[in-house]
């Protein structure tokens, strides 16, 4: 097993990405009693589970990301990297970067060097369409991706893995294709430039583009069953579709998968994604040089917490864990008020005396993602920590911040007709760079 780990995953301990679910043992504390002791001290986080299918921590503050960087063998996004980013782009870094919400990377320096030298690269990200409606956490990688596309003026490829969701969920092919289209409307509603963006769903694209299937086979030829077992935790009784699937998520990281965009040029690729997707791209990075391609670079986000707290991520399959992009203002308000885990104290007296704990407070986390004003956010953090600001007040601010985002999204989505959507799915060259 030891050699397998080394050859496939760049020396990272593949088996720590255990595929087991700890979901049963993770409690989601929502009531005031449970919060009493919350945040007293960090647990060891030895049992954080992070893989493409499960995210669970025993700590109220969520996954220990520094430990995850070590475990995965990625690099921390530090002040020096952010400074270089700002110098090269001539623009302040996005607040997701400044606030450490995107906290880890692979080879981002290489991408910045390419930019300095005026050499091309493209962006690739994706979404597994498992539900008709996205939630606000799903916006995060796409907000970052959009900002990167605007900052660098580069082509963007968005993969919808309807095949993945058919294989993993109780979902028919036809339903998965429908969900992919619905999700694509939400993505397009975020305002991606149609001239620079190509969107595709695997179940339909594969038949239109032999180059993609050919790359999948090239990739599958490089990876053994032992290796995918090590990386993803697959077992002998997993269906063979799952075992082969990682190659389909890897293929878009090779530019030759899209001959109508890149011709036969070997172009570098940068992938913004949540860190749970990293196992796919460790595999991709191992394979790419063997096929004569550069290794993809990565920019990893932390998880968007469930309303019930950062022990798990916001999930579309848990209705009350998520604020959906289809929720009404009233639903947004009720959900945050009722479910958002509070880092506040049990009584007002105690809260005034001891102060709240922003790190475990979901309303504060929502603000960290969506309140763009740095000064205001810092004011809130200080006032809440000192007990000057109460739980009801921080929740109110979170509601006021999130509601317009949801409303604006709904208005933008209404304008996405089938014709508008089809343009993004058309196989065509993209126009970028001036």
Q: What is the four-CA torsion angle of 408, 411, 414, 417, rounded to 10 degrees?
A: -70
Near ligand TRP by CB under 6 A, which window of 57-65, 158-166, 203-211, 377-385? 158-166
Q: What number of chain residues touch ligand TRP (CB under 6 A)?
A: 11
Near ligand TRP by CB under 6 A, which window of 16-24, 57-65, 269-277, 305-313? 269-277
Q: How far is the CB of 272 from ligand TRP (least distance, A)?
A: 7
Count the Cβ atoms, other than its own, within 10 Å of residue 422. 11
Which residues neighbour 247 within 8 Å (Cβ) at sequence distance 6 or greater?
216, 217, 219, 220, 223
For residues 146 and 351, which CB has a smaller minimum distance to ligand TRP in the complex?
146
For residues 304 and 364, which CB has a smaller minimum distance to ligand TRP in the complex?
304
Q: In this chain, which of 134, 203, 270, 271 binds ligand TRP, going by CB under 6 A?
A: 271
Token pair for 399:
């509601």
Token pair for 231:
């990386």
Rounded to whole angstroms, the Cα distance separating 425 from 97 reads 30
Q: Is 161 near ligand TRP (CB under 6 A)?
A: yes
Q: Is 343 near ligand TRP (CB under 6 A)?
A: no
Rounded to whole angstroms, the Cα distance separating 294 from 288 reads 6
Q: What is the four-CA torsion angle of 141, 145, 148, 150, rounded to 10 degrees?
A: -140
Contact letters (x/-) for ligand TRP, 292-331, by CB under 6 A? ----------------------------------------
DSSP 362-416: HHHHHHHHH---HHHHHHHHHHHHHTSS-HHHHHHHHHHHHHHHHHHHHHHHHT-
Q: Is 159 near ligand TRP (CB under 6 A)?
A: yes
Which residues neighbour 370 within 8 Å (Cβ) at sequence distance 6 or greater?
136, 401, 402, 405
Rounded to whole angstroms, the Cα distance separating 295 from 220 reads 17
Q: What is the DSSP letter of 14?
A: G
Residues facing 121 on adjacent strands: 268
Integer Rg of the chain from CA = 22
Q: How far is the CB of 6 from ligand TRP (least distance, A)?
A: 25
Q: How far is the CB of 327 from ligand TRP (least distance, A)?
A: 21
Q: In this chain, which of 127, 135, 218, 229 binds ligand TRP, going by CB under 6 A?
A: 127
Q: How far is the CB of 249 from ligand TRP (least distance, A)?
A: 5
Q: Is 273 near ligand TRP (CB under 6 A)?
A: yes
Q: In this chain, which of 35, 57, 277, 401 binds ligand TRP, going by CB under 6 A?
A: 277
CB-CB contact of 180 with 147 (8 Å): no
Q: Is 249 near ligand TRP (CB under 6 A)?
A: yes
For residues 138 and 345, which CB has a smaller minimum distance to ligand TRP in the complex?
138
Q: How far is the CB of 125 from ligand TRP (least distance, A)?
A: 4
Contact letters (x/-) for ligand TRP, 71-110, by CB under 6 A? ----------------------------------------
Q: What is the DSSP letter of 322?
A: -
Q: Is 128 near ligand TRP (CB under 6 A)?
A: yes
For residues 196 and 333, which CB has a smaller minimum distance to ligand TRP in the complex?
196
Instruction: Please name which of 97, 108, 79, 433 lies closest in space to residue 270, comparing C-alpha atoms.
Output: 108
Contact letters (x/-) for ligand TRP, 107-126, by CB under 6 A? ------------------xx
Q: How far is the CB of 184 from ligand TRP (least distance, A)?
A: 13
Near ligand TRP by CB under 6 A, which window of 27-35, 157-165, 389-397, 414-422? 157-165
Contact set with ligand TRP (CB under 6 A) = 125-128, 159, 161, 164, 249, 271, 273, 277
């Amino acid at each position: 097993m030891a050699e397998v780990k080394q050859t496939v995953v760049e020396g990272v301990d593949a088996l720590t990405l255990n595929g087991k679910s700890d979901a049963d043992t993770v409690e989601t504390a929502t009531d005031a009693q449970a919060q009493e002791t919350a945040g007293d001290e960090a647990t060891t986080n030895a049992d954080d589970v992070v893989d493409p299918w499960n995210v669970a921590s025993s700590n109220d503050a969520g996954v220990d990301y520094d430990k995850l960087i070590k475990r995965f063998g990625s690099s921390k996004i530090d002040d020096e990297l952010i400074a270089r980013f700002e110098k090269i782009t001539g623009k302040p870094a996005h607040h997701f970067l400044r606030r450490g919400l995107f906290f880890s990377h692979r080879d981002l320096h290489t991408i910045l060097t390419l930019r300095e030298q005026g050499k091309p690269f493209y962006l690739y990200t994706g979404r597994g369409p498992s539900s008709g409606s996205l939630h606000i956490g799903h916006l995060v990688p796409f907000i970052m991706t959009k900002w990167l596309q605007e900052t660098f003026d580069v082509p963007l490829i968005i993969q919808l893995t309807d095949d993945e969701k058919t294989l993993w969920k109780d979902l028919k092919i036809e339903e998965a294709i429908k969900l992919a289209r619905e999700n694509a409307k939400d993505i397009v509603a975020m305002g991606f430039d149609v001239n620079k963006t190509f969107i595709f769903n695997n179940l339909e694209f594969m038949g239109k583009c032999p180059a993609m299937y050919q790359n999948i086979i090239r990739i599958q030829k490089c990876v053994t069953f032992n290796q995918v077992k090590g990386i993803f935790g697959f077992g002998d009784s997993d269906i063979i579709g799952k075992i082969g699937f990682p190659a389909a998520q890897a293929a878009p990281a090779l530019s030759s998968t899209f001959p109508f965009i890149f011709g036969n040029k070997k172009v570098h690729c940068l992938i913004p994604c949540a860190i749970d997707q990293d196992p796919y791209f460790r595999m991709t990075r191992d394979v790419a040089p063997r096929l004569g391609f550069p290794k993809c670079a990565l920019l990893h986000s932390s998880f968007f917490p469930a309303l019930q707290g950062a022990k798990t991520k916001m999930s579309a399959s848990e209705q009350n864990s998520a604020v959906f992009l289809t929720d009404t203002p009233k639903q947004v308000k009720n959900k945050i008020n009722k479910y958002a885990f509070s880092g506040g104290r049990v009584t007002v007296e105690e809260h005034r005396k001891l102060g709240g704990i922003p790190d475990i407070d979901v309303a504060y986390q929502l603000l960290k993602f969506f309140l763009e004003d740095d000064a205001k956010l810092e004011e809130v953090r200080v006032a809440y920590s000192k007990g000057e600001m109460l739980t009801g007040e921080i929740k109110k601010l979170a509601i006021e911040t999130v509601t317009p985002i949801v409303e604006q999204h709904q208005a933008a989505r209404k304008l996405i007709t089938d014709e508008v959507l089809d343009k993004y799915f058309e196989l065509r060259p993209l126009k970028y760079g001036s």
